[in-house]
Amino acid sequence: MEAGLVESPKGANLPAVDAPLPTIGRGVESKNILISTLFLLQKTSPMIDEDPDLKPGMIIDTVSKKAVGHPTEGLMFIPLSYTTDWVIMKYDAETDQYKWHGFEEYTPDNANLPWNWEEGQDKFRRDERLSFFCLLPDQIENEIKDTEEDDWDPDSVVLPVRICFKRTSFAAGKVLLTWFAKIEEGRRRGHKVPYYHSIFNIKPKLEKNKANQSYQVFEVEKITKTPDAQKAVCESWTKQMAEREIKIDESIETEPTGQPIQKAAPVNNAAEGVGDLF
């Protein structure tokens, strides 16, 4: 196995503690709490064949296997933190597609390596992936309302979700990266502003590639400030995710996603978008 390659991911490269792993609740290790990934359904996704109610452009929760948000208006979310890594793909000659092979930590040493390369007869491709950990405002509001009632429902407790951006949707991820950069610059100037200061919206957009294949990409825009009542929940999860190992559902990376077929690119032909993030 290549150096640094992770075949069985245990989390999201979040900091872990040296002391015994903290627990949430009574005896439940935080690493055993499964966090959903939200992904954009493509027209060739196997899930569409399995569920006729699912349509291209829907945002799907990988844990519940259900659509979230509105098909055209999108989904509101509050970003808390982010990580960057590489998704390693290996070329399969039988299907003429690149398929999931593993993950690799993003480091200064591999930041400028070729995105396509060969090892013997095998061809590989690396895709830079931005993973943002977020809370959904509607879910926070439901938790707040349920907390005020006598018959409290544990299912109302909000858990973070992850939204990933790579390849065709990487540009949308840059919108969030720019936001984080502005926050960090503000902090250097003395402004104590958290990343969860504002609510964003993510929605699908139909595009076509050079082969006239249609596919869905993410669009992101900032909507409004996060209400003060919701910031307490955001702050709580921001602290927890900085201190604890959280298990992420990676099934969307290890299974076929239904994205347009990606042909094998010439070796050392870097993918579009390589370079500075801003």
> What's the distance, CA 223 to chain centroid?
20
Task: State both tokens at 131.
Answer: 């993973």
Parallel/antiparallel/unpaired status of strands 67-68 and 5-6: unpaired
Please write the tens of the pLDDT for every residue from 94-123: 888 888 888 888 898 988 899 999 999 999
**C-beta separation of 114 from 268 below 8 A:** yes
Please write the tens of the pLDDT for every residue from 118-153: 999 999 999 899 999 999 999 999 888 877 766 778
- What are the boundaries of each domain within the chain? 11-83+134-254
DSSP 227: P
Global model pTM greater than 0.85 = no
Cα–Cα distance measured from residue 124 to residue 86, given in angstroms and rounded to the nearest whole number? 12
Rounded to an integer, the average pLDDT of 152-156 is 80
**C-beta separation of 118 from 156 below 8 A:** no
